[in-house]
Structure 1
Amino acid sequence: MIMEVDAVKILIVEDEKSIADVEKAYMLREGYEADIAADGLEALKMFNEGAYELVILDLMLPGMQGESVCREIRRSSSVPIIMVTAKSGEDDVIAGLDAGADDYIIKPFSPRVLMARIRANIRGSAPFDPENGEIITVGEHLVIDSTRFTVTKNGEYIPLTKNEFMIFSKMASRQDKTWTRDELITYALGYEYDAFERSIDSYIKNIRKKLSDPDHENGYIKTVHGFGYRISE
């Protein structure tokens, strides 16, 4: 069945042509546009020249590694990035998330599973309900606009990725609540997520780094050891 989508443009970064061709074929069947880059440098060139709304990024690439490509993209864009890896070790997955990836999928995988991950990571595809789209404030200087999907600090835009925004805005909608890791990761991705427990820790680490200031060195998020996270007072 072909989905009705608004021609979302996806960049596939994969050096194995047979895999890239299969991924592209499935994307075209579902109504997406897709281009293929065979290495990291080509990927960055294409990304900078094209208006891509999602990136499928293989971790192991010739020349420039996927983690480095991810970091370079994150310097200028919060576009969703799904990391593809043949490594199932926890440290390898966490390294990709720390580099700024929103999600990951481990080879070998079903193309249908990849399509589900794509739908879950495209902005607006996951359920979003923090207080029905209102403005939320955290502290004196941080403002979350859940209609425009933006976070500003002292009027300055903070470039959170989709999943970082989903996690932080959900926490901010109930600042008196301590959230478990499972609650946050399942909410952000919109489906039951088979992830390492440390996956959410990587998202929190990146949020803290982007939001930190002298008065909130922990990025407005407090760790509740043995349970999860909450907005710090």
Structure 2
Amino acid sequence: MASEKILIVEDDLQIQTLLKDYINASGYIAVTASDGEEALQKFETEAPQLALLDIILPKVDGFELCRKIRQESNMPIIMLSSKKEDTDKILALGLGADDYIEKPFSPRVLIAKIQAQFRRIYELSGTPATDTLRVKDLEVDVKARTVTLKGESIPFSVKEFEILHYLMLNKNQALSREKIFDEIWGYNEFGDINTVTVHVRKIREKIEENPSEPSYIETVWGIGYKFKG
């Protein structure tokens, strides 16, 4: 049974409920938001693996929402819209959306497209859907993208999860901040390398009993970080 979280951003509550019911019935976990600001909050706290974004939304529209999510995550984004103009499709895809579906649409077709996106992810990553990483009291479920410490679930943002996962996969290896940035954000991405430091600090605050004396993520002076396994 699938357990991926899917963020549904739709201000029409009737459509939102329909999508939620179909997605839950298909074995996924539906997380809903009715406007762009709520969607960004849910994106950070729930760490979904795929997003369905309506274009016309209150507060922050779907285009801007897509752009903001894509700055933080490579997860699949499917745009939903009653707008049929090619310019909207081109703009959505240019901002990083993976697919575009016109309303009205068949829920079965939508579920098929969601399944196709997840198949692509697992085929490209080569990561078994059931992978679970455990070190002492810390456990990372790769498929569900959840982090638990001493059996208690801890909310992680997408980038925090990806960094922790990457460090754990390479435990006991010293990794430079540049290497971490390239792996998580991409070689072609321009950004401040200090963002790695900020994210690691946030991760430590969540998993370390004493962040100033970390037992999981060690600072390797002059290089970067090492996850102690």
Could you say which TM-score interval applies, normalised by the shorter chain?
0.5 to 0.7
Residue 31 of structure 2 aligns with an amino acid whose one-letter code is D
Q: Tell me what 1:116 maps to.
A: 112
Does residue 183 of structure 2 align to residue 157 of structure 1?
yes
CA distance in 2, matches of 1:111, 1:53: 19
**CA radius of gyration, larger in:** 2
Residue 157 of structure 1 aligns with an amino acid whose one-letter code is E
What is the CA-CA distance between 1:51 and the residue it aligns to? 1.9
Instruction: Spell out the pairing of 1:45-194 with structure 2 (5 A cutoff).
Output: 45-122=41-118, 124=120, 155=179, 156-157=182-183, 159=185
Q: Tell me what 2:19 maps to.
A: 23
RMSD (Å), alpha carbons: 2.5
Q: Does the 8 A contact of 1:119 with 1:125 survive in 2?
A: no
What is the CA-CA distance between 1:100 and the residue it aligns to? 1.1
What is the CA-CA distance between 1:122 and the residue it aligns to? 1.6
Q: Tell me what 2:213 maps to.
A: none
Q: Tell me what 1:33 maps to.
A: 29
Output one character per residue of 1:101-126: Cα deviation in whole Å (capped at 9) or x when no partner: 11111100010011011101125467
List gaps (5 residues or longer) in structure 2. Answer: 127-168, 170-177, 191-229
List gaps (5 residues or longer) in structure 1. Answer: 131-147, 149-153, 161-208, 213-233
Instruction: Report runs of 4+ in structure 1 exceeding 6 Å deviation.
Output: none
Residue 103 of structure 2 aligns with an amino acid whose one-letter code is K
CA distance in 1, matches of 2:21, 2:84: 26
SS of the aligned residue for 1:34 comes to strand
Residue 30 of structure 1 aligns with an amino acid whose one-letter code is S
Output one character per residue of 1:51-87: Cα deviation in whole Å (capped at 9) or x when no partner: 2000000011112110100111111111111001111
Flag the 1:111–1:33 CA change in 2: closer, same or farther, 3 A: same
CA distance in 2, matches of 1:33, 1:103: 20
What is the CA-CA distance between 1:210 and the residue it aligns to? 3.5
**Alignment: residue pair count:** 138
Flag the 1:36–1:211 CA change in 2: closer, same or farther, 3 A: closer
Question: What is the TM-score with the length of structure 2 in the denominator?
Answer: 0.55
Question: What is the TM-score with the length of structure 1 in the denominator?
Answer: 0.54
> Whose helix proportion is higher, 1 or 2?
2
CA distance in 2, matches of 1:158, 1:33: 25
Flag the 1:116–1:125 CA change in 2: closer, same or farther, 3 A: farther
Output one character per residue of 1:196-219: Cα deviation in whole Å (capped at 9) or x when no partner: xxxxxxxxxxxxx9379xxxxxxx
